[in-house]
Amino acid sequence: MSRGVGRQMHQTDPNWWRQAVVYQIYPRSFADADGDGLGDIRGIRSKIAYLASLGIDAVWLSPFYPSALADGGYDVDDYRDVDPRLGSLAEVDELIRALHDAGLKVIVDIVPNHSSNRHRWFREALAAGPGSTARNRYIFRDGLGPDGNRPPSDWVSHFGGSAWTRITEPSGEPGQWYLHLFAREQPDWNWDNPEVREDFLSTLRFWSDRGVDGFRVDVAHALAKDMSEPLRSRPTAASGTTPLDGKDPLYDRDEVHGIYAEWRKVFNEYDPPRTAVAEAWVPAARRHAYASPEGLGQAFNFDLLRADWDPDQFRTIITDNLAQAGTSGASSTWVLSNHDVVRHATRYGLPPGTDYARWLMGEGREPAEDQVLGLRRARAATLLMLALPGSAYLYQGEELGLFEVPDLPAAVLQDPIWERTGRRRKGRDGCRVPLPWTVDGPSFGFGPDGAHLPQPDWFGACSVEAQDGNEGSTLSFYRRALALRRELQTYEELRWCDGGTGQVLHFARPGGWHTVANFGARPAPVPDGEFLVGSAPLHDGLLPPDTTVWLRVRPRA
């Protein structure tokens, strides 16, 4: 399948997403125009030239909806409005227009598993009694035991503690419990309720009508639930760790695809059809159902993000995911970093098998992080990823080679994981520290004043200003690789050239585009060809350890 080459064609090509590079913006930490310490819509708008200069195809905006920020905006008060601290609907409309004018598509985050506890319908549900229509939009149950003071099941929240919270009824008596797979401020919707389904279809149309090109679907595998009694006797797989088979009460149930079939009809009302990508933490073999053309069309593949810097793991993941993508007719996706995980420049600088949650609790001192090695491998992994067929999702700041900020003081932590685990896990704030744009100045150019999470001193040296125009910088490296990818990308084919074993991975894409990655400790030879870009320079004509290179190799006459 080919990708539109010219920009004009790219604008209307219904397949634009298949091999797109999508850049994730975490709005509260990207750029702050009004100086309140929180990034905002005008801040993003002021950086459009920068975004275009990267050579990406689309931006994905993490939630910017009204929210108390109990979970960084994934606790949504109103799906069809904008957090006044971030801007207004009119400003988002302008942003979408300006991004389109710059040739960039726009993907927004949709959070359908749960709302926030400040959502109008949840407040109505609290005010209405048990058994009411309003309660039936969420998942309320009576508690166990004579006083109903034990939760309806032993299900646990992803952020720690019970997945149930007891409410006080309007009468003032202790009352029913509601389900929340995440924080207690994030009550789960009841997707068996047609009113909930209809309301989300309206939200999809609301944003599609405003020109949004696609949706990133949060926790896409948890919407359909089997809530038949007794709940307690039916344990549930912890997402991602136990094999899922379509019958788990909470995750990856087969019926969830009925919901996305309805969504697809809405996407197809538009020209070009709106796209979607599922955040579904399911095994590779079950991913294609989310990615089918009758469903969301694409699903995140987090396998590389979870892999060590290891050639066998990379090869298997690439082979399996390309095969899986073939099954659904979708293209594969690739991700190394996002707002939920330790940044990949840090992961690769830690010994394989490091427990990152524990490492963060040690404030990043033990085991020691080797930042030189980490960044070297991160660049090599990125260049390898960008050479793969399918679409690549980048996370803001990775183009600057940012490391995790492991030593944020307890007093500033915002992630609900911190409190819900009884302060035993720090959570994800270390990858969400506001971006450095300038070498110095208040908040390193993030805004005219401070930043909502403190930035470390070393951020200045990683700033856009420090790297812009500097040949050897990570920023220049990303720009060069992305510009070349645009030129080189044609058919979604990949051929291994490396015999399948060893420390060096070598594959070719159509048109003589070769990628060679050296995972080993010794320099490796590269095929004869034109050097296009390297994650580090060749040394005496050899590929140094922890380096990836792209070459153009002419077929033998």
Q: Which residues are catalytic?
A: 218, 269
Query: What are the Cα distances from residue 193, in Å, to 128, 135, 198, 227?
Result: 17, 11, 9, 13
Work out how close the CB of 133 gets to ligand NOJ at its nearest, in angstroms, rounded to a whole number. Answer: 26
Strands (DSSP E) contained in 14-161 are: 21-25, 58-61, 105-110, 140-141
For 108, phi then psi, to 5°, come to -115, 160
Q: How many residues comprise the chain?
A: 557
**Closer of 60 and 478 to ligand NOJ (Cβ):** 60
Q: Half-sphere exposure of residue 43, counting CA atoms within 13 Å on the CB side?
A: 29
Number of other CB atoms surrounding residue 137 within 10 Å: 23
- Return the residue of 219, 388, 413, 453 that touches ligand NOJ, per CB under 6 A: 219
- For 165, which DSSP code? E
Tokens encoding 139: 């998942």
Residue range at the interface with ligand NOJ (CB under 6 A); choices 70-78, 345-353, 448-456, 472-480: 70-78
Binding mask 451-480 for ligand NOJ (x = CB under 6 A): ------------------------------
Identify the burial level of 74 via C-beta atoms within 10 angstroms of its C-beta, where 0-12 means exposed, 13-18 middle and 19 or more buried. buried
Q: Which amino acid is at 273?
A: P
User: Is residue 25 a contact point for ligand NOJ (CB under 6 A)?
Assistant: no
Of 368, 342, 399, 528, the residue nearest 59 (C-alpha): 399
| Cα 519 to Cα 72: distance, rounded to the nearest angstrom | 36
- Return the residue of 74, 164, 191, 260 that touches ligand NOJ, per CB under 6 A: 74
- Return the residue of 32, 40, 57, 71 that touches ligand NOJ, per CB under 6 A: 71
DSSP-based three-state secondary structure for 61: strand
Is residue 475 within 8 Å of residue 461, measured between CB atoms? no
Identify the burial level of 554 via C-beta atoms within 10 angstroms of its C-beta, where 0-12 means exposed, 13-18 middle and 19 or more buried. exposed
- Return the residue of 32, 188, 218, 404 that touches ligand NOJ, per CB under 6 A: 218
Give the interface size with ligand NOJ as a residue count (CB under 6 A). 10
- For 306, which DSSP code? H
Work out how close the CB of 27 gets to ligand NOJ at its nearest, in angstroms, rounded to a whole number. Answer: 13
Work out how close the CB of 111 gets to ligand NOJ at its nearest, in angstroms, rounded to a whole number. Answer: 6
Is residue 179 within 8 Å of residue 154, measured between CB atoms? no
Work out how close the CB of 440 gets to ligand NOJ at its nearest, in angstroms, rounded to a whole number. Answer: 31
**Closer of 220 and 543 to ligand NOJ (Cβ):** 220
- For 448, which DSSP code? S
Residue range at the interface with ligand NOJ (CB under 6 A); choices 17-25, 67-75, 121-129, 363-371: 67-75
Work out how close the CB of 71 gets to ligand NOJ at its nearest, in angstroms, rounded to a whole number. Answer: 5
User: Is residue 111 a contact point for ligand NOJ (CB under 6 A)?
Assistant: yes
Residue range at the interface with ligand NOJ (CB under 6 A); choices 69-77, 322-330, 372-380, 397-405: 69-77
Work out how close the CB of 139 gets to ligand NOJ at its nearest, in angstroms, rounded to a whole number. Answer: 16
Is residue 56 within 8 Å of residue 39, measured between CB atoms? no
**Closer of 111 and 224 to ligand NOJ (Cβ):** 111
Work out how close the CB of 219 gets to ligand NOJ at its nearest, in angstroms, rounded to a whole number. Answer: 5
- First vs last Cα of the chain: how many Å apart? 27
**Closer of 225 and 506 to ligand NOJ (Cβ):** 225
**Closer of 72 and 534 to ligand NOJ (Cβ):** 72
Is residue 45 within 8 Å of residue 52, measured between CB atoms? no
Binding mask 262-281 for ligand NOJ (x = CB under 6 A): -----------------x--
| CB-based closest residue to ligand NOJ | 74
Binding mask 317-356 for ligand NOJ (x = CB under 6 A): ----------------------xx----------------
Is residue 304 within 8 Å of residue 381, measured between CB atoms? yes
| Cα 91 to Cα 113: distance, rounded to the nearest angstrom | 27
Tokens encoding 234: 């039916």
Is residue 332 within 8 Å of residue 389, measured between CB atoms? yes
Work out how close the CB of 540 gets to ligand NOJ at its nearest, in angstroms, rounded to a whole number. Answer: 44
Residue range at the interface with ligand NOJ (CB under 6 A); choices 66-74, 135-143, 220-228, 457-465: 66-74
User: Is residue 429 a contact point for ligand NOJ (CB under 6 A)?
Assistant: no
**What is the arrangement of strands in the sheet containing 21-25, beginning at the earlier edge strand?**
275-278, 214-217, 105-110, 58-61, 21-25, 391-395, 333-335
Residue range at the interface with ligand NOJ (CB under 6 A); choices 68-76, 250-258, 291-299, 429-437: 68-76
Tokens encoding 165: 């919270």
**Closer of 298 and 474 to ligand NOJ (Cβ):** 298
**Closer of 396 and 535 to ligand NOJ (Cβ):** 396
Query: What are the Cα distances from residue 298, in Å, to 193, 280, 419?
Result: 26, 10, 34
Work out how close the CB of 310 gets to ligand NOJ at its nearest, in angstroms, rounded to a whole number. Answer: 26
Tokens encoding 84: 């006044």
**Closer of 72 and 295 to ligand NOJ (Cβ):** 72
Of 237, 227, 221, the residue nearest 192 (C-alpha): 227
| Cα 276 to Cα 22: distance, rounded to the nearest angstrom | 12
**Closer of 31 and 431 to ligand NOJ (Cβ):** 431
User: Is residue 182 a contact point for ligand NOJ (CB under 6 A)?
Assistant: yes
**Closer of 70 and 516 to ligand NOJ (Cβ):** 70
Q: Which amino acid is at 425?
A: R
Work out how close the CB of 69 gets to ligand NOJ at its nearest, in angstroms, rounded to a whole number. Answer: 11
User: Is residue 550 a contact point for ligand NOJ (CB under 6 A)?
Assistant: no
Work out how close the CB of 328 gets to ligand NOJ at its nearest, in angstroms, rounded to a whole number. Answer: 22
Interactions with ligand NOJ, residue window 393-422 (CB under 6 A): none
**Closer of 185 and 546 to ligand NOJ (Cβ):** 185
Binding region for ligand NOJ (CB under 6 A): 71-72, 74, 111, 182, 218-219, 279, 339-340
